[in-house]
DNA sequence: ACCACCCATAATGTCGACAATCTACAATCT
DNA sequence: AGATTGTAGATTGTCGACATTATGGGTGGT
């Protein structure tokens, strides 16, 4: 089943990305170039370029002369990434704090309430989508291209590796309240406070996901030794 | 003159990087794969990988079906990059603010004074080197791998594209004073103040470099129309 | 003289094959 | 038996050539 034409590399990137979303690649697993090449009916050259791209975005890790492996973030890496995102997004939103209109804030509030509702109704997909939209809107006033770039990079990585957790780490009420808190901080036009709120938002989320992962592992494999 | 063995890609990356440092590639210029291949006596495959790597670090820009071009940052991009670096480094240093020993602070002060001296004596190379070292030391207490990664990425890009300016945008006394100011902020153990100081440090630098570039262009080409 | 179209040229995108290197298993030695 | 070394298979790194696409100049028409 060969791919549509345009430039193979991008297709391959998307193919692997989707594969990771559908859990067809497990963390730490090795990705074989020749395997993909046969699977997609193309040569190894575009495959290699795609893999290099994914290494660049942090989704794969590369060992010279050995191969590419699906990134498995340690707890430390995970929390670091969430912290970094908090720092960047905090700055981004704070920088544009004055350009938010009351109408936008109302929209954001509405979205926060919707998120609570979706969470209560177990509509995880809708919850995740609107969560993404919420943060994009918050972020939309940032004019700093470099900050946007880094944040998108982090967002991509974290979204892919941990979007399954998002709906479970907070209770529906918590989800709604935490996002309303962000909006209030924007309303107060206090950049320092706002940055602090956003940073702790992401820091807490990172921590909770790590905790949940740990308990998951324990319940799945029985209580193993903690190396 | 083929290259030493180990893995060609890295050698090619270094080759192009050095070439940019020595101004052998002008901003906006197109990089031809085949030229490099002949120049280094190897095939195009590792060249392509190296170019893709440089695109990732922001040193080159890539247009599909067209080629790779030496990045030429607009004034906006340049300032954005300096701001982003200020945000990241500010957080990094603030995060480790409590782990600085008095001995380290003394070393940093000594370095700041040396920088002033080097600037006065016109030792630009030494000034740049010790400046790098200063910021590395400030940065060394940051345990967040993600933040370190982004900052190094920015540092690489900015260093390469603008290290020629560093020695000229501030007077010797300003150089020394501004860095002493940073150290004082660390001493005060006030993370918020520290972040603010570091941010404005980079913001000012970005602004000054942009200004200097503009006057350079005007004096070199005569007063041209401003498109 | 100017514009549109076509073609030659050259550069990138892709390919299949070979070379260098790593991994795993088996044979040998202590 | 355990450890070490050697070898075979598989995988990545590199190569040269072909296919496809952008670019520039020239030709013809208005």
Residue-range domain boundaries for chain B? 8-70, 75-221
In CATH, what number does A8-70 get? Answer: 1.10.10.10
Average pLDDT over residues A40-45: 93
For residue B217, the model assigns a pLDDT of 65
pLDDT, one tens digit per residue, over A156-200 is 888 887 777 877 888 899 999 999 999 999 999 999 999 999 999
Same fold, A8-70 and A75-221: no
Do B89 and B151 touch, CB atoms closer than 8 A? yes
Distance of alpha carbon B140 from alpha carbon B122, whole angstroms: 28
**Residue A220 banded pLDDT, cuts 50, 70, 90:** low
Distance of alpha carbon A15 from alpha carbon A17, whole angstroms: 5
User: Tokens 């290699």 identify what position?
Assistant: A48
Distance of alpha carbon A189 from alpha carbon A105, whole angstroms: 12
Q: Which helix (H) or strand (E) holds A34?
A: helix A33-40
Q: Which nucleotides of C are covered by protein (CB under 7 A)?
A: 11-17, 21-23
For residue A222, the model assigns a pLDDT of 43
For residue A7, the model assigns a pLDDT of 75
pLDDT, one tens digit per residue, over B129-141 is 898 899 999 989 9
CB contact under 8 A, A83 and B154: no
Average pLDDT over residues A42-46: 93
- Tell me the fold of A75-221: 1.20.120
Select the residue of A84, A88, A144 nearest B80 (Cβ to Cβ). Answer: A144
For residue B6, the model assigns a pLDDT of 63
Ranges of chain B whose pLDDT falls below 50: 1-5, 221-227
For residue B164, the model assigns a pLDDT of 74
Higher pLDDT, B34 or A212: B34
Q: Is B88 on the interface with A (CB under 8 A)?
A: yes
Q: Which of residues 25-44 of B touch strand C (CB under 7 A)?
A: 30-34, 44
Q: A186 CB contacts (<8 Å, ≥6 apart)?
A: A93, A97, A100, A105, A108, A138, A194
Higher pLDDT, B7 or A120: A120
Average pLDDT over residues A91-120: 94
Q: Which helix (H) or strand (E) holds A19?
A: helix A8-21
Find which nucleotide's C1' atom is closest to B43's CA.
D15
CA-to-C1' span, A133 to D9 (A): 50
B204 token code pair: 């000012």
DSSP alpha helix (H) spans, chain B: 8-21, 33-40, 44-56, 75-95, 102-120, 124-139, 145-169, 172-187, 191-221
| A–B CB contacts, 8 A cutoff, strictly below | 60
Q: Does any strand D atom come closer than 7 Å to the Cβ of B223?
A: no
């Amino acid at each position: 089943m060969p791919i549509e034409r345009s430039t193979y590399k991008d297709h391959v990137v998307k193919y692997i990305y989707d594969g990771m979303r559908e859990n067809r690649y497990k963390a730490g697993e090795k990705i074989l170039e020749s395997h993909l090449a046969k699977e997609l009916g193309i040569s190894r050259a575009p495959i290699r370029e795609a893999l290099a791209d994914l290494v660049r975005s942090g989704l794969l890790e590369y060992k010279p002369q050995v191969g590419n492996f699906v990134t498995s973030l340690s707890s430390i890496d995970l929390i670091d990434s969430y912290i970094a995102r908090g720092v960047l997004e905090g700055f981004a939103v704070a920088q544009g704090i004055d350009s938010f209109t009351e109408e936008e804030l109302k929209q954001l509030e509405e979205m926060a309430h919707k998120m609570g509702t979706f969470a209560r109704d177990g509509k995880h997909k809708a919850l995740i989508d609107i969560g993404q939209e919420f943060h994009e809107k918050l972020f939309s006033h940032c004019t700093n291209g470099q900050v946007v770039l880094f944040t998108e990079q982090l967002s991509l990585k974290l979204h892919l590796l941990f979007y399954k957790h998002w709906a479970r780490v907070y209770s529906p009420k918590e989800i709604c309240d935490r996002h309303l808190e962000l909006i209030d901080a924007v309303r107060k036009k206090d950049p320092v406070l706002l940055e602090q709120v956003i940073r702790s938002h992401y820091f807490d989320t990172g921590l909770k996901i790590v905790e949940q992962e740990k308990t998951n592992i324990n319940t799945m494999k029985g209580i193993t030794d903690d190396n």
